[in-house]
Amino acid sequence: MSQFNSELRRLILDEARHLMITQGYNSLSMRKIASKAGCSATSIYLYFRNKDDLLHALIEEGFEMLRARLVETAATIQDPLQRLEALCREYVQFGLLNPEYYEVMFLLRPEHMERYPVEKFRRARKNLELITDTLNMFDRGGQYKAGDAYVRAHAITASLHGAVVLVNAGRLDVRIDKSIFVDTVILQIMQSLKSYTIQAH
């Protein structure tokens, strides 16, 4: 494997990203990337172990982008409920605005990551921590079991994820306005939290 900081490596990644965004993840082939980058297909293997490794670099980019947005959102809003709702909106918006990134980040069967077992989902979970922490702000009384908010955070992201996937796959009934749908999903989450917060106070 050649050095990490390389002109060609950056170029390959740039062209891969561009192809993914414009043509879609499906039509991402080593030869196409190489062609755009002006090198041979096998040259990619000088900088990436395989296609999965290259994809993984894009996946990391995506999680970094998403995380940056969520961290910023969390930092600017203090009120727990408002912050949580803003986090939800930010999450969905990211998914809808970056469908190709989102797809490659959350491929159903992540065989693409099997070779990275350690930090496999660490980045994805960092985003969950933001939600978990916000949820824990409701638990001033401390009556919830440890990890309760963490499970709840998983449930929330599951809902958000489902919403993003449903819209991006074009599975939403065309008669339903997308933003109304998103509002409904987030409303559902926030409404469910009422019981959570009422109990907590």
Partner DNA sequence: TATGTTTACTTAACAGTGTTAACTTTTTAG
Partner DNA sequence: CTAAAAAGTTAACACTGTTAAGTAAACATA
Q: Give the one residue of 8, 154, 197, 200 binding its own copies; rule: CB under 8 A.
A: 154
CA proximity to 48, closest of 57, 40, 59, 38: 57
Can residue 185 be called a binding residue for DNA (CB under 7 A)? no
Can residue 152 be called a binding residue for its own copies (CB under 8 A)? yes
Can residue 107 be called a binding residue for its own copies (CB under 8 A)? yes
Distances (CA, A) of 183 to 30, 94, 168: 40, 15, 16
> 152 touches which of DNA, its own copies, none (CB within 5 to 8 A by kind)?
its own copies
> 187 touches which of its own copies, DNA, none (CB within 5 to 8 A by kind)?
its own copies
Separation of alpha carbons 167 and 180, rounded Å: 12
Separation of alpha carbons 38 and 116, rounded Å: 29
Q: Which range in 24-32, 68-76, 79-87, 140-148 contacts DNA by CB under 7 A? A: 24-32
Nearest to its own copies of 46, 166 (CB atom) = 166
Distances (CA, A) of 129 to 74, 149, 193: 11, 10, 17
Site string for its own copies, 33-72 (x = CB under 8 A): ----------------------------------------
Separation of alpha carbons 139 and 137, rounded Å: 5
Distances (CA, A) of 43 to 3, 7, 40, 59, 149: 13, 13, 5, 21, 47
Can residue 70 be called a binding residue for DNA (CB under 7 A)? no
Can residue 2 be called a binding residue for DNA (CB under 7 A)? yes
> 8 touches which of DNA, its own copies, none (CB within 5 to 8 A by kind)?
DNA
CA proximity to 39, closest of 74, 3, 6: 6
Can residue 93 be called a binding residue for its own copies (CB under 8 A)? no
Separation of alpha carbons 83 and 87, rounded Å: 6
> 106 touches which of its own copies, DNA, none (CB within 5 to 8 A by kind)?
its own copies
> 32 touches which of its own copies, DNA, none (CB within 5 to 8 A by kind)?
DNA
Alpha helix locations (H) across the chain? Answer: 7-23, 30-37, 51-76, 80-97, 99-105, 122-136, 148-168, 178-200
Residues lying near DNA in the complex (CB under 7 A) = 2-3, 6, 8, 27-32, 39-43, 45-46, 50-52
